[in-house]
Amino acid sequence: MRLILASASPRRRELLTQAGIVFTVETTDIDESQYPGEDPVSYTTRLAREKAQIVLARHPCEHDLVVLGADTTVTLDNVLLGKPTGAADAVVMLRALSGRAHQVVTGIALLSFQKAVTHAETTSVFFQAMTEHEIAEYVATGEPMDKAGAYGIQGGAARFIPRIEGDYSNVVGLPIAAVANLLKSF
């Protein structure tokens, strides 16, 4: 079996490598718009499947190929927070997350020419209250810009997060235990 990670995310690469899984990387550029009324689990698993399908279709003759796609989103009171569009948007997102819990959902899809499995993992993340000054300082680091919900738990945002419930790697972008378990079935 040969595994391709269909993702441009350096975090996903690192997590898979740390788990001792051997893979190569191919990227895709899909439209990540949410369908009206689409819930976080349907949305993230659909995007994960689309990313994996595009890469699988590039290799029609490789019958032992498995492709892993993933998509991470932050959900707050049923509203999805994707990547911020700019610094002002990042400030708005972080204000909304301040002083309360939200959910991080990562959808994963493992596709081969014989088989397709999807899974969505949810982790609750608790942010302590942040001051306007703390939010402004954090946004100025640039770290929020390529991350769902405008923060990186693996980076500077860790100092605002006293507690999570669920898989840590899921927040960073890939639920490693779930991926490893699903891979066993291939």
Binding site for ligand TTP (CB under 6 A): 7-9, 11, 27, 51, 70-72, 74, 83, 104, 147-149, 151-154, 171-173
Query: Which one from 29, 71, 146, 167 is the annotated catalytic residue?
Result: 71
Q: Are 85 and 154 in contact (CB under 8 A)?
A: no
Q: Residue 39's Cα: distance from chain center in Å? A: 15
Beta partners for residue 80, in sequence order: 75
18 or 27: CB nearest ligand TTP: 27
27 or 61: CB nearest ligand TTP: 27
Q: Residue 176's Cα: distance from chain center in Å? A: 12
CA-CA distance, 82 to 126, in Å (whole number)? 18
72 or 112: CB nearest ligand TTP: 72
65 or 153: CB nearest ligand TTP: 153
Q: Are 14 and 154 in contact (CB under 8 A)?
A: no
> Min. distance of Cβ 30 from ligand TTP in angstroms?
7
> Min. distance of Cβ 13 from ligand TTP in angstroms?
10
Q: Which residue has the tokens 């640039």?
A: 142
> Min. distance of Cβ 173 from ligand TTP in angstroms?
3
71 is catalytic: yes
What are 42's two structure tokens?
């349907």
> Min. distance of Cβ 161 from ligand TTP in angstroms?
9
Instruction: For 105-120, give one letter per residue: b (16+ CB within 10 A) or e.
Output: bbbbbbbbeeeeebbb
The residues assigned a catalytic role are 71
